[in-house]
A = this chain, B = another copy of it.
Amino acid sequence: MDRRQQKTRKAIFDALGELLESKRFENITVQEIIDIANIGRSTFYAHFETKDDLLKSMCTDIFHHIFTSGLPQESDLDYSEGSPNLELKLGHILYHLRESKSNLKGILGGESGELFLGFLKQYLHDLFGRYKAEFEPSVPEDFLLHHLSGSFAEAVKWWMAEDTKHSPEEVASFYMTMIGKLK
């Protein structure tokens, strides 16, 4: 990819990230983004079709990064009853989410938070699917997975709203307690 493109794309992401620290996505204008990124209007639209497209691209980047780097490998884990692997894995995810805090807090706070949380839930749905044997089988499997992924996403939202005052380990532990997997 052309170095100029890389530079511009990064400048736009950085500008949006900076703006998201102080205001919600809905209230940010393209003009503000290109002023801070120090690029021309036409350049912005050469990179992203719309402002929403930018948000989606940014979310995808962040999310992909979180779920592909630094997590314990699947092959190293076992899914046996009572294993602490799920809690460890959730803790790792929380660590990565916190690293992206400056971007995520602004995104999650507003109406656009659902977009990102939707991505997160999708991945969590798969993740929990591999641990489902550990859980209560007396409810429909789909209900179970929705409950687990939805409530973890809710925990993330709570955590970001309190400005990540608790540690990732604590939050993972709170969550495990709530879903009946108290250590």
Q: Determine, out of A62-70, A78-86, A89-97, A144-152, the stretch whose residues face the partner at the interface.
A: A144-152
Complex contact A150–B150 (CB within 8 A): yes
| Pick from B136, B138, B150: contact of A151, CB under 8 Å | B150
- A163 CB-CB contact with B under 8 Å: no
A-B contacts, 11 of them at CB < 8 A, read A26-B26, A114-B114, A136-B177, A138-B177, A139-B177, A139-B178, A143-B174, A146-B158, A147-B151, A147-B175, A151-B154
New A-B pairs, 14, CB < 8 Å, besides A26-B26, A26-B111, A114-B114: A138-B177, A142-B158, A142-B162, A143-B155, A144-B178, A146-B158, A147-B151, A147-B154, A147-B158, A147-B175, A147-B178, A150-B153, A150-B157, A154-B154
